[in-house]
């Protein structure tokens, strides 16, 4: 019989906790949110031995159980509530060998909760290079725990960790130190008043914004007894607890840890001076961005062509071999083209996530955060706003969630409102198809012109976010700026396994989330395009043939175009066409814009569906769009209309999910409504100006 245990993976940020999680679980992991809140919940599965498997929860990074953010509150409330569905059988605390003193503070606190705990000392491969030696047996004795040395880079120690987790019942439950000695009288009184409760859990209830069982800190403070104290007294006692714990940690490390300073290197500080330089730092970051966008175009062309050909062949095969009735036609002309319109961009999206993952793995992303803080402060943004703005290049939803680390409400609100201006991966398919249509595939000073335009769109979005932030700080009358503190993690060689898992999960999430929406919208669009409100739709063959002598192929194309115009979908497009005509768009583009409010990436799938209705052409979606003409014979997609459309998508709030997250984070429909109206207005005016100028 297989036994399943629950394991909580806990640690400070930048200790390699996620790398340990990836090695334990591989691709057997899923990501969601804790119920009712926008804090990411990562969960994975692994087999420990023949009889035992584990569900592993990768909890948000936290420095201690003295919570200062929503992320840290989640960790505390989970560890304190034995009735919680995810309460762990064993806690695995991950520490970085180079910052072990700071990491051990969290470990000693968790031990006081009485949870079986294992200490993982990660990045042990650095020990020799840094001149560090650790007496593991002595340290196990001092901390009353099992210690496992791991190297996620070399995949060492993971099997040992699995064995220790499987044997968690043999771990010591006793605390590392007697924290009550900081004020024996106070804690004795507290224990007498609540004799059935854990004294350390009671202490956390009093000092933190968390609940335990049916007791809250107001109940404790209002209870008669010698333990009731003022807030200032409790703060001082909390400081004394931290000092007491560090005194204990220092004594342990004196006995167990040795560092040969002469052997250690200051390579990191020398590299930091270059990467965070006031001039060269920005130049290097610009070169990194330039490389990413060039690679997106130059490296992805072959797999994109292969995917494109595969979906064209599938659609053509379905049209030729399946019977000509509703469901087969829907598959051939609606579902396959719609999904193909998204699948073709998987290589480019994957390349984008590869670079983002590598930047995070190496530690360079934290330097970018520090570097850009100098710029953002002038626009009324917190230094911590950099993380959401950079995260927004992947997706605005987790980026907006990341703003919860900004303590000042107005700074957080500004960040939430401007983050959707940064170019997310959902805009990428729109940009890619339009750039391929209207920007020549030529070289400018050795650089791919299409790649330069793509980078320009990213920079434009980021620039608009800064401009909007500057205006908002004036409107909201932002007070003095808060201090900005960021930890600079050690430089690391990227772990290819971590990069691969990140790219796989992010790309899979993009494809599945977009795919569900696109599939539903593709079916709806095909039905609307395959039926009309009046008899002229059904009589298309007779009406088109009357006045024209055409070849079979030309006749079929004319009939398809006529049917689309007279369909329900065509009627919707005609209705909104007067509003979008000044931007250079026809009614077909209007349909795509409206449908893409569900998700921006639906734009391409919608066009793929529209241009494949009722036709046996083998042309790709790009070629079909290039051949599209206005009634006066002029091309629909020109440099002017294409750039206008890209500018519109650069600024427009075309994402229902983002609006929902803004509503949740601000707890009001006021701000997402303002955000939608303002961004749409800015997008319309900018697109209008672009089309008229070009």
Q: Which tens digit of pLDDT belongs to each residue from 147-205?
A: 999 888 788 888 999 999 988 888 888 888 888 888 888 888 888 888 878 888 888 88
For residue 520, pLDDT over 50 is answered with: yes
Q: What is the mean pLDDT of residues 674-681?
A: 92
Reported in sequence order, the residue ranges of 394-546 that DSSP labels E, i.e. its strands, are 443-444, 447-448
For residue 298, pLDDT over 90 is answered with: no
Question: What are phi and psi for residue 152, nearest 5 degrees?
Answer: -70, -25
For residue 531, pLDDT over 70 is answered with: yes
Query: Which is higher by pLDDT, 31 or 51?
Result: 51
Query: Which is higher by pLDDT, 219 or 409?
Result: 409
Map tokens 């961004």 to a residue: 679
DSSP codes, 329-387: HHIIIIIHHHHHHHHTTHHHHHHHHHHHHHHHHHTHHHHHHHHHHHHHGGGT--GGGHH
Q: Give residue-wise pLDDT tens across range 655-664.
A: 776 777 788 7
Q: What percent of the chain has pLDDT over 90?
A: 12
Q: Give residue-wise pLDDT tens across range 5-38.
A: 999 999 988 888 888 888 888 877 665 544 444 4
Q: Give the Cα separation of 206 and 220 in Å (integer).
A: 7
For residue 571, pLDDT over 80 is answered with: yes
Identify whether the C-beta of residue 119 lies closer than 8 Å to the C-beta of residue 146: yes
pLDDT of residue 401: 67
The most confident of 390-399, 507-516, 530-539, 666-675, by mean pLDDT: 666-675
Q: What is the mean pLDDT of residues 495-520?
A: 75
For residue 592, pLDDT over 90 is answered with: no
Q: What percent of the chain has pLDDT over 70?
A: 82
Confidence of residue 614 (pLDDT cuts 50, 70, 90): very low
Confidence of residue 688 (pLDDT cuts 50, 70, 90): very high
Query: Which is higher by pLDDT, 121 or 524?
Result: 121
- Of 305-309, 507-511, 676-680, which range is least confident? 507-511
For residue 40, pLDDT over 80 is answered with: no
Q: What is the mean pLDDT of residues 384-400?
A: 72
Domain coordinates of the chain in residue numbers? 3-170, 179-259, 496-693
Q: Give residue-wise pLDDT tens across range 121-136.
A: 987 777 777 778 888 8
pLDDT of residue 37: 44
**Burial (0-12, 13-18, 19+ Cβ within 10 Å), 116:** buried
pLDDT of residue 550: 64
Q: What is the mean pLDDT of residues 550-565?
A: 69
pLDDT of residue 228: 62
CA distances from 648 to 57, 78, 155, 477 (A): 41, 44, 47, 29
pLDDT of residue 678: 93
| Mean per-residue pLDDT of the chain | 79
Identify whether the C-beta of residue 518 lies closer than 8 Å to the C-beta of residue 338: yes
pLDDT of residue 681: 94
* Secondary structure class of 152 (helix, strand, coil): coil
DSSP codes, 404-448: GG--SHHHHHHHHHHGGGS--TTTHHHHHHHHHHHS---EETTEE
pLDDT of residue 117: 92
Q: What is the mean pLDDT of residues 331-345?
A: 74
Q: Give residue-wise pLDDT tens across range 221-246.
A: 545 555 566 778 888 888 898 899 99
pLDDT of residue 105: 92
Query: Which is higher by pLDDT, 597 or 214?
Result: 597
pLDDT of residue 618: 38
Which two structure tokens, joined as six digits, stand for 166?
């499987």
For residue 93, pLDDT over 90 is answered with: yes
Identify whether the C-beta of residue 205 lies closer than 8 Å to the C-beta of residue 227: no
Side-chain-facing half-sphere of 692: CA atoms under 13 Å: 9
Q: Give the Cα separation of 541 and 550 in Å (integer).
A: 12
For residue 527, pLDDT over 90 is answered with: no
**Burial (0-12, 13-18, 19+ Cβ within 10 Å), 224:** exposed
The most confident of 222-231, 281-290, 480-489, 554-563, by mean pLDDT: 281-290
pLDDT of residue 483: 57
Q: What is the CATH number of domain 3-170?
A: 3.40.50.300
Query: Which is higher by pLDDT, 396 or 218?
Result: 396
């Amino acid at each position: 019989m297989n036994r399943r245990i629950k394991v909580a993976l806990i640690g400070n940020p930048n200790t390699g906790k996620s790398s340990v999680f990836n090695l334990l679980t591989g691709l057997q992991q899923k990501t969601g949110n804790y119920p009712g809140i926008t804090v990411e919940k990562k969960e994975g599965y692994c087999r420990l031995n023949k009889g035992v498997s584990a569900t592993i929860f990768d909890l948000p990074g936290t420095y201690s159980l003295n919570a200062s953010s929503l992320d840290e509150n989640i960790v505390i409330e989970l560890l304190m509530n034995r009735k919680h569905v995810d309460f762990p059988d064993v806690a695995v605390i991950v520490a970085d060998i180079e910052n072990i003193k700071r990491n051990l503070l969290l470990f000693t606190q968790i031990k006081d909760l009485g949870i079986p705990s294992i200490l993982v000392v990660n990045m042990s491969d650095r020990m020799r290079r840094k001149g560090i030696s650790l007496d593991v047996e002595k340290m196990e004795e001092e901390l009353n725990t099992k210690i496992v040395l791991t190297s996620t880079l070399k995949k060492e120690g993971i099997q040992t960790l699995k064995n220790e987790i499987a044997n968690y019942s043999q771990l010591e439950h006793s605390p590392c130190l007697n924290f009550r000695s900081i004020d024996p009288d106070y804690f004795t009184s507290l224990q007498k008043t609540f004799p059935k409760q854990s004294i350390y859990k009671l202490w956390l209830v009093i000092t933190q914004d968390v609940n335990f069982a049916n007791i809250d800190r107001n109940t404790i403070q209002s209870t008669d007894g010698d333990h009731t104290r003022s807030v200032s007294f409790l703060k001082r006692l909390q400081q004394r607890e931290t000092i007491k714990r560090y005194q204990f940690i220092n004594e342990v490390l004196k006995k167990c840890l040795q560092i040969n300073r002469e052997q250690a290197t200051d390579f990191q500080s020398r590299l930091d001076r270059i990467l965070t330089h006031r001039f060269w730092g920005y130049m290097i970051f610009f070169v990194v961005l330039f490389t990413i966008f060039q690679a997106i175009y130059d490296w992805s062309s072959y797999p994109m062509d292969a995917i494109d050909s595969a979906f064209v062949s599938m659609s053509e095969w379905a049209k030729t071999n399946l019977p000509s009735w509703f469901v087969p036609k829907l598959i051939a002309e609606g579902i396959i083209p719609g999904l193909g319109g998204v699948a073709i961009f998987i290589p480019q999206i994957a390349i984008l996530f590869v670079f983002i993952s590598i930047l995070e793995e190496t530690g360079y992303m934290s330097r970018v955060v520090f570097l850009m803080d100098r710029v953002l402060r002038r626009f009324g943004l917190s230094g911590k706003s950099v993380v959401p703005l950079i995260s927004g290049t992947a997706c605005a939803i987790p980026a907006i969630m990341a703003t919860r680390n900004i303590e000042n409400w107005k700074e957080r609100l500004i960040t939430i409102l401007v983050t959707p201006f940064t170019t997310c991966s959902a805009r990428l398919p729109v940009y890619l198809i339009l750039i391929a249509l209207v920007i020549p595939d030529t070289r400018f000073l050795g650089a791919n012109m299409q790649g330069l335009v793509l980078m320009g769109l990213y920079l434009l979005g980021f620039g608009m976010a800064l401009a909007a932030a500057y205006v908002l700080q004036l409107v909201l009358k932002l007070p003095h700026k808060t201090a900005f503190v960021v930890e600079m993690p050690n430089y690391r060689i990227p772990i290819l396994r971590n990069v691969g898992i990140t790219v796989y999960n992010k790309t899979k999430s993009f494809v599945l989330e977009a795919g569900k929406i696109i599939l539903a919208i593709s079916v709806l669009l095909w039905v609307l395009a395959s039926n009309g409100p009046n008899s002229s739709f059904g009589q298309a063959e007779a009406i088109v043939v009357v006045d024209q002598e055409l070849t079979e192929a030309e006749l079929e194309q004319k009939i398809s175009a006529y049917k689309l115009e007279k369909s329900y979908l065509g009627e919707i497009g005609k209705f909104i066409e007067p509003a979008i005509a000044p931007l250079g768009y026809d009614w077909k583009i209007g349909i795509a814009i409206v449908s893409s409010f569900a998700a921006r990436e639906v734009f391409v799938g919608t066009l793929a569906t529209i241009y494949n209705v009722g036709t046996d052409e083998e042309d790709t979606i790009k070629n079909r769009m290039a051949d599209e003409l206005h009634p006066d014979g002029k091309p629909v997609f020109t440099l002017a209309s294409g750039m206008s459309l890209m500018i519109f998508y650069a600024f427009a709030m075309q994402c229902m999910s983002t609006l929902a997250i803004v509503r949740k984070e601000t707890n009001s429909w006021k701000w997402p409504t303002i955000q939608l109206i303002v961004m749409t207005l800015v997008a319309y005016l900018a697109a209008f100006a672009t089309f008229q100028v070009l």
